[in-house]
Amino acid sequence: MTLRLEQLRRHALARSLFAPTTLPAALQRLGFVQADPLRAPAKAQDLTLRHRVRDYRAGELEQRYPRLGVEEDFFVNYGFVPRRVQALLQPRQARRAWDDDRWQQARAVQDFVRQRGVAHPREVDAQFDHGTVGNWFGGRSRASTELLDGMHYRGLLRVARREGGTRLYAVREATPEAADPLLALDTLTDLLLQTYAPLPAPSLSQLLGLLLGGGVPQWRHLRAATLQRAQARWPGAEVDGLRWHWPVGEDPARSRRHSPERVCLLAPFDPVVWDRRRFEIFWGWAYRFEAYVPAARRQRGHYALPLLWRDQVIGWANVKVQAGRLMPDMGYVDKRPAEVAFGQALDEELDRLHHFLGLG
C-alpha cells in the first residue's frame, strides 16, 4: 500500500474525533481515557470527552461513573477503561512486593471496607493507625492512603465513586487468572491501537512498554512475543521511511477529512495529542506538557491546549476562568490565521468551552 503522510494525519483525526455520541458509546469507542487531577480549566478526561460526547459538561464522567460500566485503573497511564478490559489487567502482580506485615494490614483494611460496603480514606485512617510516609513531593502523606492505592493497584479494591474528587473504595470481586496471557495481551495491545492509531512502530513499542511496565507488569517477560504477534496481525505501511500500523478493517487511504471549518482545543492527553513523536511528525513542531516545569522554563504555558484548525495544529491556548468569565491566552506556532472563518470558528469553540464549564 502506498500512503502519504497527509492521509495518515487525516485518518488519525477522522477516527479519533468521531461524531459526538452518548457518553457510554464514546467510552467504549475510545477504549481508554487518561485521567489527570489538574483543572485548567477542567480535568483532562473531561476535556477529552467534550469533543466526543453530545452536550457534555465538566464533571459528568465522575457523576455518572457508578452506572457507566467503566473502571478507574492503570493501563498505560491512570484512567478509565471498560470493565471487560479491566478484567484482563488483574490479578496484577506489582513490581514492588509486600512483606507479610503489609499483607496483614491490607487484609484487615479489606475486611473493614467489605463491612462498610463503600469506604472513604478518612474512615480507614480513623480505624487504623498506619502513621505517615514520605511522598514524591518531599512531604508526608497518610500511610493509609498509600496502602489503599496499593490495594487498588493489586485488585483488592475498586473505585466505587468519588466524593469531592476523593476516591471511595469497595472490595473488588475476585477475577480468575487469565488462561492464556498472550491472548489477553493481544486484546490489550489491540486496545492500544484502537485508542491511538495510526501509530509509527517506535510509538507502538513505547506504548507496549508502558502497558507491561504498569498495566500488566506480571507479563513484561512476554514483550518481544507480544510485539511480534501484534505487528504480524495489524495492517501497515512504510511512509517516509517509517513503518506505521492501524487496526484491522481500516484504510487510511480512504478516510474522510476531519470537519474542515472547526477549531478544537485539545487536552494534553487527548488521543490526537498523546504521542509526541507522532504529533511532531504530523505538525512539524514539538508539543510538551509543562504543568510540572518551573514557570521560567515554560515555552507554551502551564496547561497549554493544542489548537486544531482544519487538519493542522497551529497553536495552543492556556485557559483560565476569572470571575465567571473565560480568559484564553492564545499562542501560535507561526501567526494567527487572518481568515474570517478562523475567527468565527475560534469564537464558536470558546462558546462550546464556556457551555461545557457551565459558566452560563
pLDDT digits (tens, 9 = 90+) for 4-51: 999 999 999 999 999 999 999 999 999 999 999 999 999 999 999 999
pLDDT digits (tens, 9 = 90+) for 141-198: 577 889 999 999 999 999 999 999 999 999 998 766 656 899 999 999 999 999 999 9
User: What mean pLDDT do residues 96-121 have?
Assistant: 95
pLDDT band (50, 70, 90) for residue 104: very high
Dihedral sign from CA coordinates of 16, 18, 22, 24 = negative
Determine the Cα angle at 84 with ends 169 and 172, to 5°: 25
Whole-model pTM: value is 0.93
Mean pLDDT, all residues of the chain: 92
Q: How much is the pLDDT for 140?
A: 47
pLDDT digits (tens, 9 = 90+) for 244-294: 999 999 999 988 766 678 999 999 999 999 999 999 999 999 999 999 999
Distance CA 51, CA 70 (A): 19
Q: How much is the pLDDT for 137?
A: 47
Cell numbers 509509527 label which residue? 200
The residue extents of the domains of the chain are: 5-47+177-254, 100-171, 263-356
What percent of the chain clears pLDDT 90, i.e. is strictly above it? Answer: 86
Distance CA 217, CA 209 (A): 9
Say whether pLDDT at 130 is over 80: no
Q: How much is the pLDDT for 346?
A: 97
Residue of 38, 60, 40 lying closest to 49 (CA atoms): 60
CATH 1.10.357 fits 100-171, yes or no: no
